[in-house]
Structure 1
Amino acid sequence: MDYVKPQKISGTFTKQYSLHLLIILFGVFKFCIHLFTMEAYGLHADELYYIELSRSFEWGYLDISPFVTWMGRISSIFGNAVISWRMLPCLFSAFTVILTGQITRLLGGKQLAVSIACSALICSPAVLATSYLLQPAVFDQFFWTLLTYALLAYQKNRQIKYLYLASAAFSFGMLNKYTILIYLGSLGIAYLFFKPKHILIDLKKLFYPALLSIAILLPNIIWQWHHGFPILHYSSLVAKGALYVDLGDYLFQLFFFHGASVAVWTAGLIFLFFPKENIPFQRIWPISFLMVVLILLLLKGKLYYGLGAFPLFFASGGYCWAIMLKQLNKAARVVFFIVLYAFGALSLPLVIPLLPIEVSRMYIAKMVKMTSFTRPLLWEDGTSGTLPQFFADMTGWELMAKKVERVADRYADPKLLVLTDNYAIAGGLMFYGGQNMPRVISVHNSFLLSSPPYVTGKNIIYLSKDSPSKVQDLAREVKLAEVIKMENSQLSGIHIYMLIDVNARFQNKYNSDRETFYPQAKRLNAQPLKFEL
Structure 2
Amino acid sequence: MTDIAESVLPATPSAAGRERIAWRPVGLVATVVAAVHLAVAARYGWHRDEFYYVICGRHSAWGYADQPPLAPLLARLAAALPGGVLPLRVLAVAAQVGCVLLAPMLAAEFGGGRRAQTITAAAIAAAPAFVASSLLFGTTVLDQVAWVAVLVLVARALRLRTAGSWLAAGASAGVGLENKDTLAVLLLGVLVGLALLRREALRTAGPWLGGVMTLALAAPNVIWDAAHGWPNLRMAHSLAAEQGGQLGSLAQLPVLVLLAGPPMITLWVLGVRWLASPAGRAHRWVLVVAVVAVVAVVVFTASGGKAYYPAPVLAGLFAAGAVRVESTQWVADRAGGRVRGWGGLARPIGVSALAAVLIGLPVLPVSAASAIRVVNPTVVETYGWPGFVDQVRQAAAALPPGTPIFTSNYGEAGALTILGPGQGLRQPVLSAQNTYALWGPPPGRPDVALCVGEFGPAYLHRAWAEVTEVDPIRMNGVHDEETDHHAAIYVCRQPLGSWAQLWPALVHFD
Q: TM-score range by the shorter chain?
A: 0.7 to 0.9
Q: Deviations over 1:388-421 (max 9, x none)?
A: 311221122211111111122112333x211112
Deviation of 1:227 after TM superposition, in Å, equals 1.1
Name the structure 2 match of 1:31.
34
Separation of aligned partners in 2, 1:506 and 1:453: 6
Label 1:136 to 1:473 Cα distance change in 2 as closer, same or farther (>3 A): closer
SS where residue 382 of structure 2 aligns?
coil
Label 1:23 to 1:494 Cα distance change in 2 as closer, same or farther (>3 A): same
Which range moves more in the overlay, 467-476 or 342-351? 467-476
Letter in 2 for 1:396: G
Whether the 8 Å contact between 1:264 and 1:314 is mirrored in structure 2 is yes
Q: In angstroms, what is the RMSD of aligned CA positions? A: 2.7
Label 1:505 to 1:286 Cα distance change in 2 as closer, same or farther (>3 A): same
Deviation of 1:331 after TM superposition, in Å, equals 6.5
Separation of aligned partners in 2, 1:261 and 1:233: 37
Question: 5+ residue gaps in structure 1?
Answer: 1-14, 365-375, 379-387, 519-533
Letter in 2 for 1:316: A
Whether the 8 Å contact between 2:19 and 2:111 is mirrored in structure 1 is no
Separation of aligned partners in 1, 2:340 and 2:275: 27
2:363 to 344, 354, 358: 354
Label 1:198 to 1:151 Cα distance change in 2 as closer, same or farther (>3 A): closer
Letter in 2 for 1:334: G
Whether the 8 Å contact between 2:201 and 2:207 is mirrored in structure 1 is no
Question: Percent identity at matched positions?
Answer: 20
Separation of aligned partners in 2, 1:128 and 1:114: 19
Label 1:304 to 1:491 Cα distance change in 2 as closer, same or farther (>3 A): same
Matching of residue 319 in structure 1 with residue 323 in structure 2: yes
Deviation of 1:327 after TM superposition, in Å, equals 9.1
Q: Deviations over 1:25-71 (max 9, x none)?
A: 32222212201010111111111111222224321111111111122
Whether the 8 Å contact between 1:456 and 1:501 is mirrored in structure 2 is no
Matching of residue 305 in structure 1 with residue 309 in structure 2: yes
Which range moves more in the overlay, 87-96 or 77-86? 77-86
1:95 to 93, 98, 102: 98
Separation of aligned partners in 1, 2:85 and 2:135: 11
SS where residue 39 of structure 1 aligns?
coil
Whether the 8 Å contact between 2:40 and 2:362 is mirrored in structure 1 is yes
Separation of aligned partners in 2, 1:196 and 1:206: 11
Label 1:407 to 1:157 Cα distance change in 2 as closer, same or farther (>3 A): same
Whether the 8 Å contact between 2:21 and 2:113 is mirrored in structure 1 is no
Separation of aligned partners in 1, 2:394 and 2:290: 56
Question: 5+ residue gaps in structure 2?
Answer: 1-17, 333-337
Separation of aligned partners in 1, 2:71 and 2:30: 21
Label 1:188 to 1:42 Cα distance change in 2 as closer, same or farther (>3 A): same
Matching of residue 436 in structure 1 with residue 439 in structure 2: no
Which range moves more in the overlay, 189-198 or 297-306? 189-198
1:337 to 341, 346, 370: 346
Name the structure 2 match of 1:283.
287
1:377 to 368, 374, 382: 374
Whether the 8 Å contact between 1:396 and 1:489 is mirrored in structure 2 is no
Q: Deviations over 1:186-205 (max 9, x none)?
A: 22123223344653x23x23
1:411 to 399, 416, 419: 399
SS where residue 367 of structure 2 aligns?
helix
Whether the 8 Å contact between 1:23 and 1:102 is mirrored in structure 2 is no
Q: Deviations over 1:308-332 (max 9, x none)?
A: 2111111111111122326999965
TM-score (ref. length: structure 1):
0.83
Matching of residue 491 in structure 1 with residue 478 in structure 2: no
Letter in 2 for 1:70: L
Deviation of 1:271 after TM superposition, in Å, equals 1.4
Separation of aligned partners in 1, 2:277 and 2:340: 28
Deviation of 1:459 after TM superposition, in Å, equals 1.9
Name the structure 1 match of 2:271.
268
Deviation of 1:355 after TM superposition, in Å, equals 2.1
Whether the 8 Å contact between 2:155 and 2:285 is mirrored in structure 1 is no
Separation of aligned partners in 2, 1:122 and 1:412: 52
SS where residue 303 of structure 1 aligns?
coil
